[in-house]
Amino acid sequence: MLKGSIVALITPFDNGILSEKDYVKLIDYHLENGTDGIVPGGTTGESPTLSHKEHKKIIEIAVRECKGKIPVIAGTGSNSTEEAVELSQFAEKAGSDALLVVTPYYNKPTQEGLYQHYKKINDSVSIPIVIYNIPSRSVIDMEVETMAKLYELKNIVGVKDATGDLNRVDKQLKAMGKEFIQLTGNDDNALEFNRRGGVGAIGVTANVAAKLSSDFQKSCKEDLKKASELDEILQPLHSSLFIESNPSPVKYAASLLGMCKPTVRLPLVEIKNETKKKVTEALKVAKLL
């Protein structure tokens, strides 16, 4: 169920307010272009600056628009375990197919603290949970041993690995086996990630290159030569979308394609002119603009 090109969906704003109309339009774009799953309320969706009401609203919209078509993997992580539990229970009740739960940021829990955090969420719901391991944003790194211990729990099914360390794919495969779902959180390493045993990506680039990203992921399993060719086309876009803090560049790219406004919420700001040029050039390389 959780494989291929899964998009970490941006959250569109209009004059600082959640634009439900544009959110539906974005989801329709993915349904029409082969995206294999949608993550509402992840980091790319600016979850840190969404109100609880807004966060719940985008989950509800995603479920309503996607149900029966592609899975909704709701972003429900928090550095407060109780808050993560409450949001996870809400997402399950709303009809989400799975949860994406980021490692608790800022608190810097020990490995045992990480285990207990996820265990409490696991024990509070009955749908699949994907661990989101991203040390660059959360400061902590979940060790493979901790992940293996969590995999013994009923609902923990996989990881969105944003460590950038491809050797982790091998270690996690050895520790948890082929049934453990490994999804990369780094668009730029997806080709090698899949070669080593990964089954897809929860990516940013798919926001503006849904069909290319979907075709690339399918080719990774069917035609590696084609996958390599598509990867070469996508690499400039991957790079340009991370010159400045995500999701500012991808929101600008989306604005160029008429998907939504480039607005982000403070403390994020819109990208510099020099970055705009690079994003524009990358979109042209990919023949999206």
CATH code of 146's domain: 3.20.20.70
- Residue 159 falls within a domain, yes or no? yes
Residues 14, 109: Cα–Cα separation, whole Å? 37
- Residue 65 falls within a domain, yes or no? yes
- Residue 100 falls within a domain, yes or no? yes
Residues 19, 188: Cα–Cα separation, whole Å? 30
Q: What would the mean pLDDT of 264-288 be, rounded to a whole number?
A: 98
On the question of pLDDT at 128 being above 90, the answer is: yes
Only one residue has tokens 């994406």, namely 100
Give one DSSP letter per residue of 150-180, joined into a string: HHTSSSEEEEEE-S--THHHHHHHHHH-TTS
- Residue 189 falls within a domain, yes or no? yes
pLDDT in tens, 175-221: 999 999 999 999 999 999 999 999 999 999 999 999 999 999 999 99
Cβ of 258: how many Cβ atoms within 10 Å? Answer: 7
pLDDT at 19: 98
On the question of pLDDT at 110 being above 90, the answer is: yes
On the question of pLDDT at 143 being above 90, the answer is: yes
Model pTM score: 0.98
pLDDT at 67: 87
Q: What would the mean pLDDT of 82-86 be, rounded to a whole number?
A: 98
On the question of pLDDT at 42 being above 90, the answer is: yes
The proportion of the chain whose per-residue pLDDT surpasses 90, expressed as a percent, equals 99
Whole-angstrom CA distances from 273 to 230, 276, 279, 286 are 27, 5, 10, 20
The proportion of the chain whose per-residue pLDDT surpasses 70, expressed as a percent, equals 100
| Alpha-carbon dihedral sign for residues 33, 274, 189, 283 | positive
- Residue 263 falls within a domain, yes or no? no
- Residue 229 falls within a domain, yes or no? no
pLDDT at 55: 98
Domain count, the chain: 1
- Residue 13 falls within a domain, yes or no? yes
- Strands of the sheet with 156-161, listed across from one edge: 37-39, 4-8, 200-203, 181-184, 156-161, 129-133, 98-102, 73-75
The CA-to-CA distance between both ends of the chain, in Å, stands at: 32
Annotated active-site residue 132? The verdict is yes
pLDDT in tens, 89-106: 999 999 999 999 999 999
Selecting among 132, 251, 252, 278, the annotated active-site residue is: 132
The DSSP element (H or E) to which 242 belongs, if any, is none
Selecting among 160, 218, 251, 276, the annotated active-site residue is: 160
pLDDT at 147: 98
On the question of pLDDT at 68 being above 90, the answer is: no
- Residue 38 falls within a domain, yes or no? yes
Only one residue has tokens 């493979």, namely 144
pLDDT at 165: 98
pLDDT at 16: 93
Annotated active-site residue 160? The verdict is yes
On the question of pLDDT at 255 being above 90, the answer is: yes
pLDDT in tens, 2-15: 999 999 999 999 99
Tell me the residue range of the domain where 8 lies. 4-223
The CA-CA-CA angle for residues 121, 123, 126, to 5°, reads 90
List, in sequence order, every beta strand (DSSP E) within 173-265: 181-184, 200-203
